Amino acid sequence: MAVCGVLACNEERRAETEQPSVRPSAHPPVVLFFGTSLTAGFGLEPEESFPALIQQKLDSAGLAFRAVNAGVSGETSAAGLRRIDWLLAQPVAVLVLELGANDALRGQDLAAARANLQAIIDRTRAAHPEVRIVIAGMQAPPNLGSRYTAEFRQLFVDLARRNNAALIPFLLEGVAGDPELNQGDGIHPTPQGAKIMAENVWRVLEPILTP
């Protein structure tokens, strides 16, 4: 759907050097949510973001993981690559990678975006060989043309296959395009929309974490 492709048009952009408040700790292992304003929970209270909702699910399921929200508004794949090493000081067990939509928004070369995302995965695995990868699929707006939108959608599928990673087909499934589930900008989910996003993520994440 087109809504995710205009991700950064109306959002307040933070500097690409902004670092989330994450402190390395020995225990428990981390589920690192690495992404854009969708991950950060733009316009929501911290406890309403989908990573925070995943933490609630982890706790309810008795799974000893810590969900870390490393989302930054306006983040591109290149900016993510520049800051990933700092985040890998933690004992990362799972990387949930939600990047690429802002690359599409800016009409950037998809080969470069693919290379950046692959480099993020490679660096994560180099730091934590046993890490599991979850890739959040996104969609580009139709105004970028059918070829570009098809290649963008396929990018996430290809990354998942190449890296033996789990794939969330479309992070905003059931949310995109529904005015009742999005804030006034038509882009960022409401608290109810974030709950649906959390379900989309949990459907893929839970089997990975359950013994």
Per-residue confidence (pLDDT) for residue 92, from 0 to 100? 96
pLDDT in tens, 141-190: 777 888 999 999 999 999 999 999 999 999 999 999 899 999 998 889 99
Above 50 in pLDDT, residue 15? no
Above 60 in pLDDT, residue 19? no
Domain ranges, ordered by start, for the chain = 30-170+199-209
Above 50 in pLDDT, residue 8? no
For 166, phi and psi rounded to 5 degrees?
A: -80, 150
Q: Which of 210, 197, 204 is nearest to 51 (CA)?
A: 197
CA distance 79 to 16: 6
CATH classification number, 30-170+199-209, choose in 3.10.580.10, 3.40.50.1110, 3.30.1490.20, 3.40.50.720: 3.40.50.1110
pLDDT in tens, 49-104: 999 999 999 999 999 999 999 999 999 999 999 999 999 998 999 999 999 999 99
| Mean pLDDT value across residues 133-145 | 88
Instruction: Give the residue numbers annotated as catalytic, written as ranges.
Output: 37, 185, 188
Q: Which residues pair with 95 in a beta bridge?
A: 32, 133
CA distance 160 to 63: 24
Yes or no: say if 42 and 188 are a contact pair by the CB < 8 Å rule. yes
Above 80 in pLDDT, residue 10? no
Which residues lie below 8 Å from residue 146, measured CB to CB, with a gap of 6+?
Answer: none
Q: What sign for the dihedral angle of Cα 156, 169, 53, 62?
A: negative
More confident residue, 61 or 1: 61
Q: Which of 75, 94, 96, 59 is nearest to 20 (CA)?
A: 75
Per-residue confidence (pLDDT) for residue 79, from 0 to 100? 97
Above 50 in pLDDT, residue 9? no
- Going by pLDDT thresholds of 50, 70 and 90, the confidence category of residue 17 is very low
DSSP string, 51-103: HHHHHHHHHHTT---EEEEEE-TT--HHHHHHHHHHHTTS-EEEEEEE--HHH
Helix spans in the chain (H): 37-40, 50-60, 77-87, 101-105, 110-127, 146-162, 191-209
Six-digit token string for 61: 């399921």
